[in-house]
Structure 1
């Protein structure tokens, strides 16, 4: 998968979560969890774009680690929102699955990059 496809997927992911958040009923839990969810989900795409502009392989890996953390945080807040909005579980599960796919891609990339760096140094 090339970087443009991942840029588009991470942006679409942030947008789909934005649509989900807008559809939630207003209450104190949804308000607070949604605020966190907006930040971490939009950070996924922003930090992936930053990673694509990395100055070195170690810099690229470090930036991908941030993407990994933000995806994991996004999935956590999706789980919390699903718990308090059972009528939205199906759509939340779709977002969670996409987040998990993106997380798998990012983790596999980090593992491959680290292995390649080790081989290069050996």
Structure 2
């Protein structure tokens, strides 16, 4: 998984998230929700990286499950920021679609890994 799609896409998502956070703080003067968003969006890639170094397949699934939850939480904060008019629809769509893509990839990897574990047992 060293040069994997999910590793690269989750890192790109974190970069987009950090830049988006900077915009929220400097331009919109929003400090509370944006900080929550920053924590969750950067945690996605961090947990994907932890999965790379998992000690077992179960540990791998566990780490990716955390990444999945963090990605979904990030999407929640984006939805909330949009509905409270802190962000424009076009800005929302850009990063939200990126997060959706990463979430789908992570879910797919988890499902495939679980199926492979069942086949071996």
Same fold per superposition (TM over 0.5): yes
Q: C-alpha displacement at 1:75, in angstroms?
A: 0.3
Give how far 1:31 is off.
1.3
Report the Cα offset of residue 92 of structure 1: 1.6
Unaligned runs of 5+ in 2: none
Q: Which residue of 2 aligns with 1:90?
A: 90
TM-score normalised per structure 1? 0.89
How has the CA–CA distance of structure 1 residues 87 and 38 changed in structure 2, closer, same or farther, with 3 Å as cutoff? Answer: closer
1:48 counterpart = 2:44 = no
Partner Cα separation in structure 2 for residue 68 and residue 50 of structure 1:
13
Structural mapping, 1:53-68, within 5 Å: 53-68=53-68
Q: Please state whether the residue corresponding to 1:33 is helix, strand or coil.
A: helix
1:20–1:92 CA contact under 8 A, matched in 2 = no
TM-score normalised to the size of structure 2? Answer: 0.89
Question: 1:9 maps to which residue?
Answer: 9
Q: Give the aligned partner of residue 31 of structure 2.
A: 31
Structure 1 segments of 4 or more deviating over 4 A?
none
**Runs (5+) with no aligned partner, structure 1:** none
The structure with more helix, counted as a fraction of residues? 1
The offset of 1:39, in angstroms, is 0.3
Larger deviation: 72-81 or 11-20? 11-20
Conserved 8 A contact 1:47-1:63: yes
User: Deviations for 1:30-89, whole angstroms, at most 9, x for unmatched residues?
Assistant: 311101001000000111000000011111000000000000000000101111236522
Indicate the RMSD between aligned Cα atoms, in angstroms: 1.4
